Amino acid sequence: MTEHQSAFPFDIASPKRDLALRPSLRTRWSKEQVRAAATVLLLLFWPWLGLFGREPWKPDEAYSFGLVWSIVQGKGLIVPLLAGEPFLEKPPLFYWVAAAFAELSRGWLPVHEGARLAVPFFLYPTLGFLAAAARELFGARRCLLGPALFVGSLGVFDKVHMLVTDVALVAGLAIALYGIAIARRRGVAGGVGVGIGAGVAFMSKGLLGPGLVAATLAVLLCSRAWRERLAGRFIAVAAAVGAPLLIAWPLALYEQSPALFHVWFWDNNIGRFVGFVRLGATHGPWFYPLTLLWFTFPAWPAALEAADAAWRQQTSALPLSLPGAALSVMVIVLMSAHESRTLYALPTALPMALLALPGLERTSGRWVARLRRSSIVVFAIAAALVWLAWLSAVSGFPQATASILAAGEPGFVARFSPAAAAVAALVTLLFTWIARSGRSGPAEALWTWTAGIAMCWGLVLSLWLPYLDYGMAYRSMAGSLQRALPRDHACVASRGLGEPQRAMLDYYLGLDTLRVETSAAARECPWMLLQYAGAAFEPPAYAYGSWEQTWAGARPGDDREKFALLHKLPSG
């Protein structure tokens, strides 16, 4: 038994492994190999679900693509630009990568879809390094279960399949966790991993990423067992590798504009965390603990089993301490932050998946059986409903169901797509194959759940993608506005225009408005674009002089976000 296996008290080795040459067991192993192939296929296919065939969606993906679009146009390489204005919430690594993919795929993909190739570019390292960390900590038999727990977490899918920087943040943290894990055996390699991971996390999200890594290391160093493994050479290598990634871009930003550096460092890192700059939503202190109950399900019940077993047995649980320390640090940091969003909980799915691995084999047989049965029943019913609703929308029968769907997105016309039907059939068959496995162990229950989650998202984002895109994209609204704008795009001011909307108008129309909120020159513009909410539009007091409304519009079926174009009347 290897060192990392013996250090873990729950590694359950079968006493009948020496009987593996029996014919019946050879047959079983052959079936498991086929099952493993289906598992790998699912993990390889999962990052690509929902990336193509749609426009950038509001809110996060739309403004993120606006920053990518500026780089594609040759602007904003050091200072990220959104519709011509500096936008310094995050460092630009993710935007650089997305812009590079957009350029490489020009001619065979739309720019926004080419940019989304950055999503699997970062998701594959996330899954790969999570599997490697699971193998290092808990043995080779569990290496694929780590990514399975991550992929199967309820809150993960819709967060990591969008063009958002959090995808790169999670990749950096996965690399750093693996680096810490292997530091017990290979200090230099571990230091390289931690340095690269912390650097990638920093260049994706700012100080949060390396802060989480440093705090995790500080907690581990409180243990004598970890102090012996995290030697000074490991720390030195991590600092040497990570320093260029942590210093280069901030230094370039400071040299270009000390004022913008101040905005990025103090306002968007320190200020938003402690609360003297308020830009996002806030919730109560227990928002994240309550969110994790559904966000990381079904990993957290197994994680509790692992922690309980370690406490009861009072034996060495060195591998558990790494994900336990990382998860504790993440939850404390998130609860301490002034701003809170469900998206910010995404990094916790990594250590939660690792923490749950040994607990899977200790969960009660009743819980495992219930998880597997409920996965089969719930996801089979969900799949049937998605298929039937889609067939009703395409065929128009029954009329009542088709009318309900049409009321959700007025004007949408469903059409049969052979490609969408083929993808939907593939994910349905993959789930069916995995669900029909004759065994009912913890791993099989987990894979049934994970396959069900992937199938449901695959069905929604293949069969129903045009329907969702119709109501969440800005292309139709921008096309309607374009017909009302002056052809020479004379000066257009704006009021109340959000970041996603500004980004999409820049992409679709090449329109960069002068915002009344930030530009004194906006008062001189003969046109003004307003964004407002409510049933009726009333010209506001800030529309200087006499104006007439020349256009009004919104996204299809959107009653909360409306737009109006005003034209200034000649005085006198």
- Whether 490 is in a domain gets the answer yes
- Whether 373 is in a domain gets the answer yes
At residue 31, does pLDDT exceed 80? no
pLDDT band of 267, cuts 50, 70, 90:
very high
Number of other residues whose CB lies within 10 A of the CB of residue 415: 8
- Whether 166 is in a domain gets the answer yes
Q: Which residues are CB-contacts of 232 (< 8 A; sequence separation ≥ 6)?
A: none
- Whether 319 is in a domain gets the answer yes
Do the Cβ atoms of 137 and 93 come closer than 8 Å?
Answer: no
- Whether 428 is in a domain gets the answer yes
Q: For 153-173, what is the mean pLDDT?
A: 96
Residues 485 and 436 placed together within one structural domain of the fold: no
Q: What is the pLDDT of residue 184?
A: 82
Q: Tell me which of 409, 438, 472 is where a domain ends.
A: 472
pLDDT, tens digit (0-9, with 9 covering 90-100), for 489-512: 678 999 999 999 999 999 999 999
- Bridge partners (DSSP) listed for residue 566: 528, 549
The whole model's pTM is what?
0.91
Sheet-wide strand order for 514-515: 514-515, 492-495, 527-532, 562-568, 547-554
Instruction: Give CA 122 to chain center in angstroms.
Output: 10
- Whether 418 is in a domain gets the answer yes
At residue 246, does pLDDT exceed 60? yes
Instruction: Give CA 386 to chain center in angstroms.
Output: 24
Q: Tell me which of 443, 472, 501 is where a domain ends.
A: 472
pLDDT band of 228, cuts 50, 70, 90:
confident
Read off the CATH number of the domain in which 531 is found.
Answer: 3.40.190
- Count of structural domains within the chain: 4
At residue 249, does pLDDT exceed 70? yes
In sequence order, what DSSP letters do the residues of 173-203 get, joined into one string? Answer: HHHHHHHHHHTTT-HHHHHHHHHHHHHHHHH
At residue 544, does pLDDT exceed 60? no
In degrees and rounded to multiples of 5, residue 412 shows phi and psi of: -75, 135
Residues 243 and 287 placed together within one structural domain of the fold: yes
Residues 169 and 84 placed together within one structural domain of the fold: no
Alpha helix segments (H runs only) across 397-441: 399-408, 418-435
Residues 242 and 348 placed together within one structural domain of the fold: yes
Q: For 1-24, what is the mean pLDDT?
A: 39
Residues 239 and 208 placed together within one structural domain of the fold: yes
pLDDT, tens digit (0-9, with 9 covering 90-100), for 399-431: 877 788 777 788 888 889 999 999 999 999 888
Q: Which of 176-190, 217-231, 297-311, 360-374 has the highest mean pLDDT?
A: 176-190
| 379: nearest Cα among 478, 459, 309 | 459
- Whether 316 is in a domain gets the answer yes
- Bridge partners (DSSP) listed for residue 565: 529, 551
Residues 296 and 378 placed together within one structural domain of the fold: no
Q: Rounded CA gap, 553 and 565, in Å?
A: 9
Residues 500 and 543 placed together within one structural domain of the fold: yes
Residues 547 and 439 placed together within one structural domain of the fold: no
Q: Which of 138-142, 436-440, 464-468 has the highest mean pLDDT?
A: 464-468
Strands (E) located in 148-255: none
The helix-helix angle for 145-152 and 349-360 (nearest 10°) equals: 120
Strands (E) located in 126-277: none
547 against 200, higher pLDDT: 200
Q: Tell me which of 300, 331, 363 is where a domain ends.
A: 363
- Bridge partners (DSSP) listed for residue 494: 515, 529
Residue type present at position 559: D
- Whether 72 is in a domain gets the answer yes
pLDDT band of 532, cuts 50, 70, 90:
confident
Do the Cβ atoms of 316 and 10 come closer than 8 Å?
Answer: no
Q: Which two tokens stand for residue 219?
A: 């907690």
Q: For 433-454, what is the mean pLDDT?
A: 84
Q: Rounded CA gap, 153 and 295, in Å?
A: 6
Residues 370 and 458 placed together within one structural domain of the fold: yes
| 212: nearest Cα among 180, 243, 234 | 180
Q: For 278-288, what is the mean pLDDT?
A: 82
Residues 203 and 234 placed together within one structural domain of the fold: yes
Q: Rounded CA gap, 23 and 15, in Å?
A: 18
Residues 500 and 359 placed together within one structural domain of the fold: no
Residues 175 and 240 placed together within one structural domain of the fold: yes
pLDDT, tens digit (0-9, with 9 covering 90-100), for 429-441: 888 888 876 567 8
208 against 307, higher pLDDT: 208
Q: Rounded CA gap, 405 and 393, in Å?
A: 7
Q: List the domain range (segments joined by +) for residue 428.
A: 366-472
